[in-house]
Amino acid sequence: MNADRIEHFRERLEFLAKEIKSDLASNSDDAGIVELDSSIGRLSRMDAMQHQQMALELKRRRENQLLRIENAYKRMDEGRYGVCGKCRKPIDEARLEVFPDVVTCVSCS
Ligand SMILES: [Zn+2]
């Protein structure tokens, strides 16, 4: 992949990372500990806990994606970006356009 394309995908990754970071910042309250306060009913407490589980899961996914973005930068620096980690063939650029942090091509994923 040439330097211009790398630069393009680097910008995509930066945009994505910024989005995820602001999501993480704005949703940090949701992942807080649910108070097991008896003043709220049992059902709404279960609701709150379910909501908390979902928020935690979402947070975990976002953090994983940030890690994948970091790894993508690393691969760019090492000249391995856009190359499938399994079969070593180039990853389709249309795929990278949608998921700039992917490490495998369509057939290996
Ligand atoms: Zn592959």
Dist CA 1 CA 56 (whole Å): 37
pLDDT tens digits for range 36-89: 665 667 778 888 889 889 999 999 999 999 999 999 999 999 999 999 999 999
Beta bridge partners of 84: none
Residue 78's pLDDT is 95
Residue 43's pLDDT is 75
Can you give 16-55 as a three-state secondary structure string? HHHHHHHHHHHCCCCCCCCCCCCCCCHHHHHHHHHHHHHH
* Ligand 1 centroid to residue 83 C-alpha, Å: 8
* Ligand 1 centroid to residue 5 C-alpha, Å: 20
* Ligand 1 centroid to residue 11 C-alpha, Å: 24
* Ligand 1 centroid to residue 93 C-alpha, Å: 13
The pTM is what?
0.78
Residue 104 corresponds to which amino acid?
Answer: T
Name the token pair of 106: 């369509």
Dist CA 107 CA 80 (whole Å): 18
* Ligand 1 centroid to residue 81 C-alpha, Å: 13
> Any idea where the domains of the chain sit in the sequence?
3-80
Residue 40's pLDDT is 64
